[in-house]
Amino acid sequence: MRIVLVGPPGAGKGTQATRLAEKLRIPHISTGDLFRANISRQTELGKLAKSYMDAGELVPDEVTIAMAKDRMSQPDAEGGFLLDGFPRNVSQAEALDELLKTEGIKLDAVLDLEAPEDEVVKRIAGRRVCRKDSAHVFHVTYSPPEQDGVCDHCGGELYQRDDDSEETVRTRLEVYHTQTEPIIDYYRAQGLVVTISAMGPVDEVTGRALEALKSGQ
């Protein structure tokens, strides 16, 4: 299957992308991974992307699209792929359509993970990370530490990252609504959108997604 995964920050896209790609036996292609891989390998695209990032600028669509094209042309993606974070706007979606058309292939589905905005804010703003080991993550409501502000694993101080503040989350949501959300209507016009609730236990959401993709509803 060839799938595009969309949804607001905090909807669990990263977690679901990894799980769905494994279940469907297709590669998970994320924008972040593309940038990191190209920059670490010092490809021409990676050098170009880094020059924009170092200047504090957004990487132009054409660079992101070229990276995605290169990744989707690799042997492990011949049988399908799951795109996460790309396309991020209608221009990229149109470019992806043209790219796939030249290859004689098309998308099978656009999976839209839906979550109420207040819940998204609660999920992200409630996260607390250990200063000693960032792999230790807690949540003030869903998985609180035994002692407030103290990591259960190593005793390190728990803190809220700047990116997780409510103000920052709401800004990210606004960017999502204005830039990325319009691609849902774009793909809905093609009959590709499958919308599911991102609420509930991770396993339930994964099962819900697989069933929806299978039935196309």
What positions carry a catalytic annotation?
A: 13, 88, 127, 161, 172
**HSE (side-chain half, CA atoms, 13 Å) at 88:** 16
Q: Cβ of 58: how many Cβ atoms within 10 Å? A: 11
CA 79 → CA 1, 6, 75, 132, 157, distances in Å? 7, 21, 8, 41, 45
One-letter-per-residue 3-state SS of the chain:
CEEEEECCCCCCHHHHHHHHHHHHCCCEEEHHHHHHHHHHCCCHHHHHHHHHHHCCCCCCHHHHHHHHHHHHCCHHHCCCEEEECCCCCHHHHHHHHHHHHHHCCCCCEEEEEECCHHHHHHHHHCEEEECCCCCCEEECCCECCCECCECCCCCCEEECCHHHCHHHHHHHHHHHHHHHCHHHHHHHCCCCEEEEECCCCHHHHHHHHHHHHHHCC
